[in-house]
Amino acid sequence: MSSNTTPEKVTAEHVLWYIPNKIGYVRVITAALSFFVMKNHPTAFTWLYTTSCLLDALDGTMARKYNQVSSLGAVLDMVTDRSSTAGLMCFLCVQYPQWCVFFQLMLGLDITSHYMHMYASLSAGKTSHKSVGEGESRLLHLYYTRRDVLFTICAFNELFYAGLYLQLFSNSATFGKWTTIISFPGYVFKQTANVVQLKRAALILADNDAKNANEKNKAN
């Protein structure tokens, strides 16, 4: 039996109900539910938030397996990632007011770098923001082409914030402390990747603008 389940004539409704997109909807629901229990129920929050994060590794696999790769799925995946992390960081800003500016800066870097990188990649004619050649950036090439590296670094990034969250509760404070310490190197790698992709995106957009300006000048 073929793994390609896409019908001959694909409609918008088909795309909306692609298997990976269904997984994406579950990610949104579990992430949203985790916000409601975040303040007083750390165990429930951990299960819901972890489920949303782990499903992130499943939707891409299902998209490739069933030939159901879509722009909707790619955007849904990215905004769910950014939104779920942002929700957790908002809570941490309240609980760690002395680190509020740091969290704000990291959140701004996360959102800005991913949005600009996706927009720049699509503007340059690439089918995905994950299409990065080794000659363009070794770090981003490693980060985006090796699924094991991408999953591990993203997991460490989430674990760093989750560790800070768990330290707020007496029965999980020690575990949270060690989670934060162990995940810190991966967290630093992730923020470095964000800076690199932000710089790359700015250069791509500036290069496109320069080409468009030159073509306009020639036409005049």
Q: Are 108 and 196 within one domain? A: yes
Residue 121, domain member (yes or no): yes
Q: Are 191 and 198 in contact (CB under 8 A)?
A: no
Sign of CA dihedral 172, 174, 175, 177: positive
- For residue 6, pLDDT over 50 is answered with yes
Sign of CA dihedral 157, 161, 164, 170: negative
- For residue 12, pLDDT over 50 is answered with yes
Q: What is the pLDDT of residue 141?
A: 84
Q: Are 104 and 53 within one domain? A: no
- For residue 25, pLDDT over 70 is answered with yes
Q: Are 105 and 48 within one domain? A: no
Q: Are 41 and 139 within one domain? A: no
pLDDT per residue as tens digits for the range 199-213: 999 998 999 899 889
Q: Are 125 and 190 within one domain? A: yes
Query: What is the pLDDT averaged over residues 81-85?
Result: 93
Cα 40 from Cα 47, distance rounded (Å):
14
CB-side exposure of 77: number of CA atoms within 13 Å?
A: 23
Q: Which of 59, 77, 81, 110 is catalytic?
A: 81
Q: Which domain holds residue 3?
A: 1-77
pLDDT bracket for residue 217 (50, 70, 90): confident
Alpha-carbon radius of gyration of the chain? 20
Residue 59, domain member (yes or no): yes
Q: Are 81 and 155 in contact (CB under 8 A)?
A: no
Q: Are 44 and 101 within one domain? A: no
- For residue 2, pLDDT over 50 is answered with no
Residue 82, domain member (yes or no): no
| Catalytic site includes residue 81 | yes
Query: What is the pLDDT averaged over residues 58-85?
Result: 88
Which tokens sit at 61? 């696999």
pLDDT per residue as tens digits for the range 165-178: 999 999 999 999 99
Residue 197, domain member (yes or no): yes
Cβ neighbourhood burial of 43 (10 Å; 0-12, 13-18, 19+): exposed
pLDDT bracket for residue 107 (50, 70, 90): very high
Which tokens sit at 39? 């303040």
Q: Are 100 and 202 within one domain? A: yes
Domain count, the chain: 2
Query: What is the pLDDT averaged over residues 104-122?
Result: 92
Cα 75 from Cα 128, distance rounded (Å):
10
Indicate the range of 106-120, 122-136, 152-166 predicted with least confidence: 122-136
Sign of CA dihedral 149, 194, 90, 75: negative
